[in-house]
Amino acid sequence: TSLRTGPSIRPDGESGLLGETGKSLPFVVSLSNHDGSVKAEYPAGDFALRLQNKVALVTGGGSGIGRASAALFASEGAKVVVSDLRETAAREAVEQIRADGGQAAVVAGDVSDGPDAQRMVSAAVDDYGKLDILVNSAGITSRAFGPDALPEEVWDRVIEVNLKGTY
């Protein structure tokens, strides 16, 4: 089973869902089976504001699961700090969250670097006064390296990001 968030199309052709109040809700949460068939869909409004007044830091928030998590948390009322090694990707995620009515900030950094990791936490506290939720979504695979990369070099970097980066 997988979780997907994203815009939906209402019967009137507009993006988003209509909640009980008639207000447009920008997200749908979909649970999918491994073959991609939809298991269940819930308007984000069914979960709305569950994270109101919470602050979340999402590493790896510029793409993939991290980006989807950041968008979902924002749709549920959290203030989200999106962190990614690729600042452009993090900024794009934040722009989308803001366009959908959420609150978000950007901090670029490398989770495997201690001072960078501390700076990410400090940015959340400086921007929003606290940190309630940490999503360690940053991760890499050996495919991120070119064909000339040495196996030990690849191993070391994967361990730095995927293991040390969560510490």
Q: What are phi and psi of 122, to 5 degrees?
A: -60, -40
- What is the pLDDT at residue 30? 52
The answer to whether residues 56 and 44 touch, using CB atoms and an 8 Å cutoff, is no
CB hemisphere CA count around 131 (13 angstroms): 17
10-residue mean pLDDT profile of the chain (167 residues): values are: 41 42 49 57 59 95 95 95 96 96 95 93 96 92 79 83 79
- What is the pLDDT at residue 157? 84
Residue 5's DSSP bridge partners are 29
List C-alpha distances in Å: 167 to 134, 142, 161, 162. 12, 20, 10, 9
- What is the pLDDT at residue 166? 80
The structure's pTM equals 0.70
Residue 15's DSSP bridge partners are 9
Secondary structure percentages of the chain, helix, strand, coil, to 5: 35, 25, 40
